[in-house]
Amino acid sequence: MNPSPRQLAFDALVRRLSPELYRFAYWLCKSRALAQDILQECYLRAWRSSEDLRDVNSAKAWMMTILRREFLRTFERKQFDLTDLEDISIADTVSPSLEAQSESNLLRQMIGKLETKYRVPLVLQVLGGLTGAEISAELGMPEATVNTHLFRAREQLKAMVDIPAGDALKDKMNQHSNTGNLSNTVNIGAAREHRRI
Amino acid sequence: MNTAEFESLLGIDPSQAGRKAEAKALQASGVCIDAELRLARALKFEHTLDQAFDIDMPDELQAKLFALADVGSSFAPQAGARLISRSRRWLAIAAGVSMCAIAAFVGYEGNVQPQNALLAQHCNDHLVHEPFALSRRTVVPKDLVERMFAMNGFATHTADGRDLTTLLGDVNYLAPCTVDGKTAMHLVVQTADGPVTVLVMPKVANDGASEVRINSALVRISPLSRVQNSLGAIAFVAESSVSVDAVEARFLKALGVV
């Protein structure tokens, strides 16, 4: 039997968005198992109400909203007791060097330790590509508060991973420049823009 | 803008368009002589942050998501359902499901306690998340099974020295999951009659041993400890026509419950 147009559209939605949505779910709840559950619930809801999706281009924003609501709904309803398996470090196949890999792993642990009020806006900004105003609308809090939380989130992370300052930083920057790593950083804005929902 | 204000902006969103121009202007004016270095530092941190956020999706998850369309189809709204508002429709569905569940619990076994009734419902609901797991026939390597049980605090050898995985027999699906927000191990064991789903939940509260029928499914719950009111339960879920007795006996023996 041939799949229906609705089924084909759903499959395309899974292929296109699920890796990003999984990442989003994972960093919201910090548990792989729960992220999978939330993502599945999110897609199940999306399937059931797919008639509401009129514009395919807005699918990501629509799905992220469903996912975030599902996350909040789940947390409102349940008291979690996640003795997690997350202590297993996540295999990093993206970072170029061992040093960078360990930095990423350390940062992952630190992101997980951020308070929810700091982590959620950061996730929305970095993974969702949302602006401060959009995060403010999404979370229903003043933009100034969102900005404060974003600032504090970064400050805490930087302090935790001990980003070098002054001359040591210059040396490190020069090293990165020489190896071409710094060139990656100029594309951050473009990458975030690409993720925009 | 001074240096402190620029640093604040970098802390809020260093990748925003226009930051480079701001840094250049600040440095050129002498207000902040290392503005460009500060921006470069902030962007480097953002790059690390991006890499840290970048985690891979589990391989099997996409297959589960594709399968959801089949599951979702059975709940697809019928033509005319729009006559009822969306929220009311959900309320109606929720109320209907609850009524069916309660009726089933009471109808099947009057002595099922509310905690187990709810747990059985959660276990049955959980199957919707992993429908493809029921058709898995490959055998999960024993070392993975052993590792998963060990990570969840189970002894890998019985008191008389027998190996846990040998006692369990073949396991055809294994995944860490959550049931009602609590850590669980989700296993599927194929039997001659059909698949039996086993949910090992080390931290759930339960009312002791009981059996619950939900529509055509049977959920049998056993406590993981003989100590009354202690946490931990194991649930066996299967179609009513499938006998879970043999699988239950193996698991309870392997986990030292009997």
Read off the pLDDT of residues A33-54 as tens digits, 9 standing for 90 and up: 778 888 888 887 777 777 666 6
Architecture of domain A98-195: Orthogonal Bundle (1.10)
The verdict on B131 and B247 lying in the same domain is yes
* Element (DSSP H or E) covering residue A191: helix A188-195
Identify all chain B residues contacting A188, using CB atoms and an 8 Å cutoff.
14-15, 43, 46-47, 50
The better pLDDT of the pair A176, B21 is held by B21
H/E segment holding residue B179 = strand B173-179
| Contact assignment for A185 to B46 by CB distance below 8 Å | yes
Residue from the list A14, A32, A94 with its beta carbon closest to the beta carbon of B54: A94
- Is the Cβ pair A18, B41 closer than 8 Å? no
Is residue B89 located within the same domain as residue B7?
no
Q: Edge-to-edge, what's the strand order for the sheet holding B217-223?
A: B173-179, B182-190, B195-201, B233-239, B217-223, B210-214
* pTM of the predicted model as reported, rounded to 2 decimal places: 0.53
Question: Which residues lie across from B39 on neighbouring strands?
Answer: none
| Interface residue A112 vs chain B (CB under 8 A) | no
User: Quick check: A168 pLDDT over 50?
Assistant: no
Backbone angles phi, psi at B218, to 5 degrees: -115, 130
**What CATH class does A5-77 carry?**
mainly alpha
Same domain for B77 and B42 = no
Q: Residue B245 is encoded by which pair of tokens?
A: 């007795």
Size of interface A-B (CB pairs under 8 A): 165
* Residues of A in Cβ contact (< 8 Å) with B57: 18-19, 22-23
Average pLDDT over residues B100-120: 61
Q: How many angstroms separate the Cα of B102 from the Cα of each of A48, B105, B114?
A: 25, 5, 9
Q: Does A102 touch chain B (CB under 8 A)?
A: no
The whole-number pLDDT of residue B201 equals: 93
pLDDT of residue A98: 52
What is the Cα–Cα distance from A21 to B90, expressed in whole angstroms? 24
ipTM of the shown complex: 0.71
Residues B10 and B96 in one domain: no
pLDDT at residue B109 in the model: 45
Note whether B234 and B176 are same-domain residues.
Answer: yes
A38 in reach of chain B (CB within 8 A) = no
In this structure, are B187 and B235 located in the same domain? yes
Domain endpoint, select from B32, B53, B74:
B53
Looking at the 3D structure of chain B, how many domains does it have? 2
Q: Which residue among B16, B72, B176 sits closest to A47, beta carbon to beta carbon?
A: B72
Closest CA to B38 of B28, B48, B23, B53: B23
Nearest to B65 among A18, A48, A79 (CB): A18
* B216 shares a domain with B91: yes
Residues from chain B contacting residue A92 (CB–CB below 8 Å): 51
**Among candidates A53, A31, A132, which has minimal Cα distance to A17?**
A53
Residue B168: both structure tokens together: 């369990």
Q: Share the mean pLDDT of chain A.
A: 72
Please tell me whether residues B28 and B95 are part of one structural domain.
no
Distance from CA of B90 to the nearest CA of A (A): 11
| A5-29 helix and A116-126 helix, angle to the nearest 10 degrees | 140
Could you tell me which residue, B79 or A167, shows the higher pLDDT?
A167
Domain residues for the domain of B38 are: 3-53
Interchain contact, B41 vs A163, CB within 8 Å:
yes
Rounded to 10°, the helix A5-29/B59-73 angle is 130
Q: How is B121-166 classified by DSSP, letter by letter?
A: HHHHHHHHH-GGGGG--SPPPHHHHHHHHHHTT--SB-TTS-BHHH
Q: What is the rounded CA–CA span in Å between residue B9 and residue B69?
A: 44
What is the tens place of the pLDDT at every residue in B47-66?
888 888 888 888 778 877 87
Nearest residue of chain A to residue B70 (CA atoms): A7
Contact status, residue B164 vs residue B151, Cβ threshold 8 Å? no
